[in-house]
């Protein structure tokens, strides 16, 4: 944007139309987001009196840790919905920025060898026209200077949306949904997803990565539900 364009068409907040410095959320809308504070050190579910939640103690997931800035609540739900279903691809920058801010607050943070966005089934990708996880991953990979691998893993099984299923159905729906197209030899991988509604999807993908010998698996997502 040049200076004339900036004066004529100043960047506005996508939620309230207030003029912002960047094409990002204004301060007011930013403070309306539900940031996660105290949470399980593995799956990032909000908990107050422990460091690991009951579900992770009962069955440790295949990933090591999930890093997530916000709960999937309004107004973030609105941004993600517009981004995915109304093809507002420039919203990806807001989502990447939120995730990057969270990553920058991590102690002893080691960069992964690569970022793998959760793949969509090819029919879903064709229908939507893009993969939301890839769009969120692109600016992050560029900023952190990490390889973005969106081709090694595919979702060969056409799955239903996990949010409409109960716990047992979720497992059945996603089991063996992913496969590797080539041998991967990463030691440390970050898997990027937009929203984690249950741990099943990212856990299934992590299970596959473990099979290929990946030692450290982090899940990076913009939002997660509370259950």
Residues making contact with Zn ion (CB under 5 A): 13, 15-16, 18, 26, 29, 40, 42-43, 53, 56
Nearer Cβ to Zn ion, position 46 or 139?
46
Nearer Cβ to Zn ion, position 4 or 48?
48
Nearer Cβ to Zn ion, position 26 or 223?
26
And the tokens for 123?
């029919």
In the block, residue with structure tokens 């420039």:
90
Nearer Cβ to Zn ion, position 114 or 221?
221
d(CA 137, CA 67): 14
User: Closest approach of Cβ 27 to Zn ion, in Å?
Assistant: 8
Residue of 85, 81, 62, 63 whose CA lies nearest to 72: 81
Q: Decide: 48 and 90 in contact? Cβ < 8 Å.
A: no
User: Closest approach of Cβ 21 to Zn ion, in Å?
Assistant: 12
d(CA 43, CA 27): 28
At residue 61, the 3 state secondary structure works out as coil
User: Closest approach of Cβ 64 to Zn ion, in Å?
Assistant: 12
As beta bridge partners, residue 70 has: 35, 223
User: Closest approach of Cβ 36 to Zn ion, in Å?
Assistant: 12
Nearer Cβ to Zn ion, position 56 or 174?
56
User: Closest approach of Cβ 119 to Zn ion, in Å?
Assistant: 24
In the block, residue with structure tokens 């600016």:
139
d(CA 193, CA 136): 8
Residues in Cβ contact with 215 at an 8 Å cutoff, skipping those fewer than 6 apart: 187, 188
Nearer Cβ to Zn ion, position 83 or 186?
83
In the block, residue with structure tokens 């009951």:
54
At residue 192, the 3 state secondary structure works out as strand
And the tokens for 71?
């709960």
User: Closest approach of Cβ 144 to Zn ion, in Å?
Assistant: 25
Nearer Cβ to Zn ion, position 75 or 139?
75
Please report which helix (H) or strand (E) contains residue 122, including its range.
helix 122-128
User: Closest approach of Cβ 180 to Zn ion, in Å?
Assistant: 26
């Amino acid at each position: 944007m040049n200076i004339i364009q900036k004066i004529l068409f100043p960047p506005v907040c996508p939620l309230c139309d207030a003029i912002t410095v960047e094409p990002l959320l204004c301060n007011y809308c930013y403070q309306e987001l539900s940031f996660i504070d105290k949470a399980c050190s593995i799956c990032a579910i909000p908990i107050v009196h422990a460091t690991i939640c009951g579900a992770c103690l009962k069955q440790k997931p295949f990933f090591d840790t999930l890093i997530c800035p916000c709960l999937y609540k309004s107004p973030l739900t609105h941004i993600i919905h517009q981004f995915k279903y109304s093809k507002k691809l420039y919203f990806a920058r807001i989502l990447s920025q939120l995730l990057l801010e969270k990553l920058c607050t991590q102690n002893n943070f080691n960069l992964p060898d690569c970022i793998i966005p959760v793949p969509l089934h090819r029919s879903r990708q064709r229908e939507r026209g893009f993969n939301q996880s890839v769009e969120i991953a692109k600016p992050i990979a560029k900023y952190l200077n990490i390889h973005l691998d969106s081709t090694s893993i595919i979702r060969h099984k056409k799955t239903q949306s996990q949010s409409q299923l109960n716990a047992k159905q979720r497992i059945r729906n996603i089991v063996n949904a992913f496969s590797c197209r080539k041998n991967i030899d990463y030691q440390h991988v970050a898997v990027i997803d937009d929203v984690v509604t249950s741990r099943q999807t990212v856990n299934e993908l992590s299970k596959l990565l473990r099979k290929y010998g990946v030692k450290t698996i982090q899940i990076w997502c913009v939002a997660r539900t509370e259950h």
